[in-house]
Amino acid sequence: MTRAGRLLFVARWALVLMSATTAAPAQAFQHIVVRGESIPRIAEWMYGRVEFERVIVAANRLDGSRGSAIVAGMPLEIPALGHHIVSGGETWHSIAAAHLGWTRRGDVLARLNDAEPWVPPAEGREIVLPYNLRYVARRGDTTQALAYRFLGRRDRSWIIAKYNGLQRARLRHGEVLLIPLHDVQLSEAGRVAARKATSRARSQLGGAARVAQRQAKVEIPKLKSDVRHGRYIEAVARGEALLANGRLTQRQFAAVNALLTVTYVALGLRQRAMAACKRWGEADADRVLDPIEHSPKIFEACTVGVVPGQRQRHLVPAPPRPRSSP
């Protein structure tokens, strides 16, 4: 693969991964493991189907060793379906953009709701939103194998392909994709657990900002390391997840956007780099961009739209070049 091809590949998967982080599955809820529980036991409780342990394992990135990977006090994300009441003027694609992270996922959303994507859903209709399961491909993975594993049938591989914009069955090692789970129906006990978890989460919102900011202190150094070592897919995912939280301090917000500016410039995503740099400048009034210290592409992304001759306190003019001796 040529260097240009590798760059396009990285940029494409950066956007797919970003959609995984910005389209957080609001229908999921948290369960705190208690002593004596195992993943199969939790699956049977939440779904009434022990085989759904594979869903819990994948959603929480566990090793799949039938419960040995969990301990008492550990939080687990329990995947569940979401629901949406259609408003006037909405289409399958606008709903997909708002809830699933990408307009083109509207085709799959319609099919999963037994509808045609070109026929807008009726106003007032309640539609089912699938759970976006984030999956990192391993060597040998194919869309057919993942369809069988998570969707129950190999011939549903088109759902995974369409949902992620794929035109091939075999996946590359490390590729990130989303699998729309549409059959994770909770049992009655699972619905009770979900209501209790939602109520508990609401009561804890007062300290959520402090928790998020403490977490950001841990994540921002990791983001810096990702950028420094060229792990741009990971950087996009980590940075956008931090921004999606919405509870960062002003300094943290500026730091994340500064690092995303560098990342998007490296990926050739000019519009996203410009947006990140604008947010960076708005959050950091004392920011200084020096054309000597910053690359020309970063400087360009941060100065687009500057009126010639207009004074910009965050810009440092380039030093004059030394004149050659007569």
State the residue range of the domain holding 47. 3-81+174-200
State both tokens at 275: 């947006």
Rounded distance between C-alpha atoms, residue 248 and residue 39, angstroms = 33
Are 188 and 298 within one domain? no
How far from 61 is each of 57, 65, 69, 70, 194, CA to CA, in Å? 6, 11, 10, 11, 21
Output the pLDDT for position 43: 95
Does the pTM exceed 0.95?
no
Beta bridge partners of 129: 82
Q: List per-residue pLDDT tens for the chain, 326 residues long.
A: 555 555 555 555 555 445 444 444 446 888 999 998 999 999 999 999 999 999 999 998 886 444 446 888 888 999 999 999 999 899 999 999 888 888 999 999 999 999 999 999 999 999 999 999 989 888 999 999 999 999 999 999 999 999 999 999 999 888 889 999 999 999 999 999 988 887 776 655 555 667 778 888 888 999 999 899 888 888 888 888 888 766 788 888 999 999 999 999 888 888 888 888 888 888 887 787 776 677 888 888 887 644 444 334 444 444 444 444 44
Instruction: Among 154, 183, 200, identify where a domain stops.
Output: 200
How far from 249 is each of 72, 215, 255, 285, CA to CA, in Å? 32, 12, 10, 14
How far from 113 is each of 28, 127, 271, 308, CA to CA, in Å? 19, 7, 34, 54
Are 211 and 187 within one domain? no
Output the pLDDT for position 93: 94
Count Cα neighbours of 231 within 13 Å in the Cβ-side half-sphere.
12
Are 243 and 296 within one domain? yes
Are 190 and 299 within one domain? no
Would 142 be classed as within a structural domain? no
Are 47 and 28 within one domain? yes
Are 261 and 183 within one domain? no
Are 70 and 186 within one domain? yes
Would 147 be classed as within a structural domain? no
Are 193 and 274 within one domain? no
Q: Count structural domains, the chain.
A: 2
Q: Are strands 82-85 and 29-32 parallel, antiparallel or unpaired?
A: unpaired
Instruction: Among 200, 234, 265, identify where a domain stops.
Output: 200
DSSP one-letter string for 277-298: HHHHHHH-TT--B-TTTS-HHH
Rounded distance between C-alpha atoms, residue 113 and residue 303, angstroms = 46
Looking up residue 259, the CATH number of its domain turns out to be 1.25.40
Are 228 and 299 within one domain? yes
